[in-house]
Amino acid sequence: MDFEFTEDQNLLAETVQKFMAARYGSESRRAAHKTPGTWSRDVWRTLAEMGIVGLLVPAEQGGIDGGPVETMLVMNAFGAGMLLEPYWSSAVFATALLRRLGGPAAAKLLASLAVGEHLAAVAHAEPGARYDDRVQTLARKAAGGWTLSGAKSVVIGGGAADTLLVTARVQGGDGVSVFAIPRTAEGVRLREYPTIDWRGAADVTLEDVRVKSEALLGGEGAAQKPLDDAQDVALAALCADAVGSMKAALEATGKYLQTREQFGQPIGKFQALQHRMADMLIHFEQAKSMAYLAAMQCEAPDAGERRKAMSAAKVVIGQSGRYIAQQAVQLHGGMGMADELDVSHYFRRLTAHELTLGDTDHHLEKFAAATR
C-alpha cells in the first residue's frame, strides 16, 4: 500500500495546475461561456499540444498511455479551475471506451483524438431511463452497413463531438453494441444546450441513420463490458473533478472567513462558523479518500469489489459535494449568491456532478445490491 505519487505524476499535476492558473481564469471561462457550445478550441489545442488530451490514448496512437491516477491528478486541477472544455466527455469517457472496444476503426479514432483535431462523446443514456443502462436505440443490418434509430438524452459534450459513440441493440440480437456515428450523418439531430454548470450538452435523435459496417466498434452485442469498464474510469475521473472543486470552494470560504468582517471582527472568529468549516473539511477529506479509492479500483478485475468501491465513492462525493457547496454559499452570505464569485460556480459544478452517471440514491442502491 502506498498513497504517494511518482515524480512524473507530480510533474504532470504541476503542469496542469500551472496551465489552469495562467490560462484559465474566471474571465476566460466567462468568455467561453458566451461562445456557442461554451468551449474554446484554442484551449483544446493547447491541451492537446501538452499531451493532456491524449493522456489515456495508447502510445501506438500517439498518446501518453496514462492511467487512472494520472487522470485523477489532471481532473483535480480541472475541477479546481472549472474547465468548461469537454475533456471529461471526450478525453476520458469516450477515449476509455474506444480503447476497450479495440479494433482498427477505434484505433484510427483514438489517433485523431490524441492530436486534438477530433472530439468524441458517448451517447448512451436514453429518455425515461433515468440513470439505468436501458438501451432501446435500434441498429438494423442494411446493405453494406447499418441503420440506426433512437434517442439519447443529456449527452455531455455532445455538441462538441465530431463522433458520437452511440450504444444500440442490434435487431434480433442480444447485448449492447457501440456505433461510431459522425455528427454530420444524415438523420442525426442534435439539440444543444448549456448544462447548469455552463458546460455543453445535447439531446440526440437518430432517424434511420445509415452508416458503413466499420461503424460497429468491438463485436456485435459485445459492448456491455467495455461500456461498464469505461463508465467506471469516467466515474473515477468525475469524482476527482468534484474533489478539485470541493477543495477550491473550501479554500475560498476559508479565505473569506478570515477577511470578511462583521461586528468588528473577521467572521471566522465566530465559533458557529468555525465548526461549520471543520465539518466541511471532514467532508472534503472523506471525499478525497474516496476519489483515491475510485482511481485505484476503477480498473480492478474483481467486478464485485469494483462495483462496491465505485458506488461508495459516488455516494460520498455526492453527499460531501452537496454539503460543501451549500455551506460555501451560506458562509459567504449574500456574496455566495453572486454569479460574480467563483463559489456560486463551484456550487453549480458540484450539483451537476451529483446528477451525472447516477445520483447518490442510485449508487446507494447499487452499493446495497453489491454487498447483500
Partner 1 sequence: MEIAFTAEEQAFQDDVRRFLARELPADIRDKVYNARHLDRDEYVRWQKILHAKGWGAPAWPVEFGGPGWSAIQQHIFDEEMALAGAPRTVPFGPKMVAPVIMKFGSPEQQKRFLPRIIAMDDWWCQGYSEAGSGSDLASLKTRAVRDGDHYIVSGQKTWTTLAQYANWIFCLVRTRPDGKAQAGISFLLIDMKTPGVSVHPIITLDGAHEVNETWFDDVRVPVSNLVGEENKGWTYAKFLLGHERTNIAGIGASKRELQRLKKIASTETRNGKPLLDDPHFASRVAQVEIDLMALEVTNLRVLSAERSRRDPGAVSSILKIKGSEIQQTISELAMLAAGPYALADVRQARDAGGAQGLLGPAHATPLAATYFNLRKTTIYGGSNEIQRNIIAHMILGL
Ligand X SMILES: Cc1cc2nc3c(=O)[nH]c(=O)nc-3n(C[C@H](O)[C@H](O)[C@H](O)COP(=O)(O)OP(=O)(O)OC[C@H]3O[C@@H](n4cnc5c(N)ncnc54)[C@H](O)[C@@H]3O)c2cc1C
Which residues make up the interface to partner 1 (CB under 8 A)?
Answer: 36, 125, 127-128, 130-132, 151, 153-154, 156, 191-196, 198, 201, 203, 205, 261-264, 267, 270, 272-273, 326, 329-330, 333-334, 336-340, 344, 347-348, 351-352, 355-356, 359, 361, 364-365
Asked if 254 touches ligand X (CB under 6 A), the answer is no
Among 263, 264, 301, 339, binds ligand X (CB under 6 A): 263
Asked if 267 touches ligand X (CB under 6 A), the answer is yes
Q: If you ran DSSP here, which 8-state letter would residue 130 be given?
A: T
Nearest CA among 306, 317, 282, 321 for reference residue 367: 306
- Grid coordinates given for 63: 498518446
Between CA 188 and CA 111 the distance in angstroms is 24
Would you say 237 or 267 has its CB closer to partner 1?
Answer: 267
Would you say 267 or 310 has its CB closer to ligand X?
Answer: 267
Between CA 94 and CA 87 the distance in angstroms is 10
Among 210, 330, 344, 365, binds ligand X (CB under 6 A): 330
Considering the complex, what minimum distance in angstroms separates the CB of residue 265 from partner 1? 10
Between CA 301 and CA 247 the distance in angstroms is 31
Looking at the DSSP bridge assignments, the partners of residue 178 are: 167, 217
Say which amino acid occupies 322. R
Q: What are phi and psi of 309, to 5 degrees?
A: -65, -45
**Per-residue b/e over 209-241, b at no fewer than 16 CB within 10 Å?**
bbbeeebbbbeeebbbebbbbbbbbbbbbbbbb
- The angle subtended at Cα 300 by Cα 299 and Cα 301, nearest 5°, is 110
Among 35, 136, 213, 262, binds ligand X (CB under 6 A): 262
**192 binds, options ligand X, partner 1, none, Cβ within 5 to 8 A by partner type:** partner 1
Would you say 157 or 268 has its CB closer to ligand X?
Answer: 268
**149 binds, options ligand X, partner 1, none, Cβ within 5 to 8 A by partner type:** none
Between CA 288 and CA 245 the distance in angstroms is 11
Asked if 301 touches ligand X (CB under 6 A), the answer is no
**132 binds, options partner 1, ligand X, none, Cβ within 5 to 8 A by partner type:** partner 1
Asked if 334 touches ligand X (CB under 6 A), the answer is yes
- The angle subtended at Cα 51 by Cα 48 and Cα 56, nearest 5°, is 105
* Per-residue three-class SS string for 35-73: CHHHCCHHHHHHHHHCCCCCCCCCHHHCCCCCCHHHHHH
Among 161, 331, 350, 357, binds ligand X (CB under 6 A): 331
How many positions of this chain bind ligand X (CB under 6 A)? 12
Would you say 48 or 154 has its CB closer to partner 1?
Answer: 154
Would you say 25 or 333 has its CB closer to partner 1?
Answer: 333
Considering the complex, what minimum distance in angstroms separates the CB of residue 238 from partner 1? 13
Q: How many CA atoms lie within 13 A of 302 on its CB side?
A: 7
Binding footprint of ligand X on the chain (CB under 6 A): 260, 262-263, 267, 270, 272-273, 330-331, 333-334, 337
